[in-house]
Amino acid sequence: MFERFVKIGDALSQLGNVLWPFWSIKDTTANESISGRCFREKRIFRYVVNTLFFWQEDHCKRAYEKDLDRAKRLLEEVKD
């Protein structure tokens, strides 16, 4: 059940990333999280996000790495 909530959170973050009106839609994909994008683009907002997730060390960096892992898995699935 917990895994479902994590996936719902991931999906909402990806949706928020695409809908965020102050960022260019051309610089992202539908599979990138808000946190991952904040880390990748070195946005100041990442400090706010990291503060919200205070129990995780460098949440935005971890989210970015998770986004990369997800993309690699998708590529491997397509290749097979």
Per-residue pLDDT tens over the stretch 19-72: 987 878 788 888 899 999 999 999 899 999 999 999 999 999 999 999 999 889
- 1, 53, 54, 55, 69 from 31: Cα distances, Å: 22, 20, 24, 24, 11
What's the whole-model pTM score? Answer: 0.81
User: Is residue 13's pLDDT more than 80?
Assistant: yes
pLDDT at 25: 78
Return the closest-CA partner of residue 58 out of 71, 66, 47, 70.
47
Return the closest-CA partner of residue 52 out of 21, 19, 13.
13
pLDDT at 31: 85
pLDDT at 74: 87
User: Is residue 73's pLDDT more than 80?
Assistant: yes
Buried b / exposed e along 36-66 (16+ C-beta atoms within 10 A): bbbbbeeeebbeebbeeeeeeeebbbbbbee
